[in-house]
Amino acid sequence: MPERLKATKNDFEEFLKTLVYKEGDQLLLLYDLPAMITPHFTLASMMDATIEAVGWDKAREIMYKSGYNIGYAYVSRLGKSWGIAGEELIKRYLRYENVRGWGLWEIIDLDVTTGKATIKGHGGVRAEEGLLFGSFYRGKGVRKYADSFFAGLIAGMIHAATGKKVKGTERRCFAMEDTYCEFVTVPE
């Protein structure tokens, strides 16, 4: 039975412990990494500016690659901090994404021996809503697969957690008037 990886109060408390303000340096740290807290439209605005400069298809590629690099680097790092790998790391990371406002995730299937997976992304707080790019572009009347950033993030996450290099694709998107976004990964 697929399970929505909803963050618990415990996850939130755990998260707060890792968020530290160093007064001497006026620096906000998350797991010892300089960090920022910012509204969803920050990332959407970056994608929008990229589309303006290079067009939709190229922008999707850039966002995919950015997501991949972020997912790979961050999950590798968190896996070391938490001392876990594989499915346990993927589930804990997706709950960690939920607690940080990156979406509410649901693993439909996952094979850590090949890296093949199907993962649904929901908006988070409200029950049936897409991820941030899907919601942003649907709001603007754009009917396109909008969350290549998350397709990359999931592929990078699976690579870091399982050691299998995979390609991620979004095959349902809130911007396409689905009620959620859905991603598949296949070995590369």
> Which string of x and - marks every residue 94-133 that binds Zn ion (by CB under 5 A)?
------------------------------------x---
**Which residue stretch of 3-11, 50-58, 99-107, 145-153 sits at the interface with Zn ion (rule: CB under 5 A)?**
145-153
Question: How many other CB atoms sit within 10 Å of the CB of residue 81?
Answer: 10
Q: Which two tokens stand for residue 132?
A: 């941030």
Structure tokens at 84: 């876990």
Q: Does 147 bind Zn ion (CB under 5 A)?
A: yes
> Cβ distance 172 to 157 under 8 Å?
no
* Rg, C-alpha atoms of the chain: 16
CB of 55 to Zn ion, least distance (A): 19
CB of 126 to Zn ion, least distance (A): 15
3-class secondary structure, 169: strand
Q: Half-sphere exposure of 56 toward its Cβ, with a 13 Å CA cutoff?
A: 8
Q: What mask, x for binding Zn ion by CB under 5 A, covers residues 165 to 184?
A: --------x-------x---
Residues within window 63-92 making contact with Zn ion, judged by CB under 5 A: none
Residue closer to Zn ion (CB basis): 106 or 147: 147
Closest distance of CB 169 from Zn ion, Å: 11
Please identify, using beta-carbon distances, which residue of 79 and 123 lies nearer to Zn ion: 123
Report how far residue 103's alpha carbon sits from residue 133's, in angstroms, rounded to the nearest whole number. Answer: 11
d(CA 93, CA 169): 19
- Residues in touch with Zn ion (CB under 5 A): 130, 134, 147, 173, 181
